[in-house]
Amino acid sequence: MVVNLSLYLVTDSTPAILGSRDLCHVVEEALKGGVTIVQYRDKTSDTGVLIEIAKKLHNITRKYNVPLIINDRVDVALASGAEGVHLGQDDMDIRAAKEILGNDKIIGISASCVEDAVKAVQEGADYLGIGTVFATPTKTNTKSIIGTAGVKTILDTLSRLDRQVATVAIGGINTTNVHRVIYQSAAPAKSLDGVAIVSAIVAAENPKAVAEKLNGLIATPPSFA
């Protein structure tokens, strides 16, 4: 499946980020603003609720022809008919996930170092979420803040592998720094395919406007490039 990862929305249902707003409404606004892929990330709801919300989100993302990815939970991806799953280093391994979901589903893997990234590519990941780029209140238990230099080192290594993989950067990315992330992370033979964003969109007063602004910035080279 060819997937456009350029503006990757990752959701958060916590009061600190979503507030009292409705997640489905926020996601639909972001889709109107042009996000190209959506990940449902919810670390607290129980399985029944996860499946219910995933199905609701899937009905929305389908209208926009945008893939829905489920964080952590292969079972929820299967039950909701989502297009894929995003797994961390401590989640189910890629081969097992593929056995359950089938080969046509998207499998994304988090990588914060060269070793994790190379292993995920060798095991057949469809894309990598590389980070944490900048410190972020959204995920405080992160092992490593790698900066744009860390992302660049990983992209540089990936560019020399036989099998190529799509990549997004994640962690603290917003309208102010998105250009820096894209252009400072680029290695000579490999650039990011996109950026993954939680709070800059989900916590925004106007998620549609922020998504539109991010899309415009991603599409336009900055003056320093």
Q: How far is the CB of 71 from Mg ion (least distance, A)?
A: 6
136 touches ligand TZP (CB under 6 A): yes
Assign residue 81 a region (left: φ > 0; alpha: ψ between -120 and 50; beta: otherwise).
Answer: left
Size of the site for Mg ion (CB under 5 A): 3
Nearest to 68, CA basis, from 117, 98, 100, 30: 30
Among 12, 28, 72, 193, binds Mg ion (CB under 5 A): 72
Please tell me the total number of residues recorded for the chain in this structure. 225
Q: Which two tokens stand for residue 45?
A: 């709801």
Site for Mg ion in 78-117 (CB under 5 A): 88, 91
Which ranges of the chain would DSSP assign to H, the alpha helix?
A: 15-18, 23-32, 47-63, 74-80, 94-101, 114-123, 147-159, 178-185, 199-202, 207-219
Contact string (CB under 5 A) for Mg ion, positions 131-160, x = contact: ------------------------------
Residue of 98, 139, 152, 208 marked catalytic: 139
Question: Residue with CB nearest Mg ion?
Answer: 88
Q: Is 160 a catalytic residue?
A: no
Q: Is 163 a catalytic residue?
A: no
150 touches ligand TZP (CB under 6 A): no
Closest to ligand TZP by CB, 10 vs 76, is 10
Closest to ligand TZP by CB, 67 vs 129, is 129
Q: Which residue has the tokens 């909701």?
A: 80
Nearest to 11, CA basis, from 203, 162, 211: 203
Dist CA 186 CA 173 (whole Å): 15
* Residues annotated as part of the active site: 41, 110, 139
Note the residues at the interface with Mg ion (CB under 5 A).
Answer: 72, 88, 91
Note the residues at the interface with ligand TZP (CB under 6 A).
Answer: 10, 131-132, 136, 138-139, 142, 170-173, 197-200
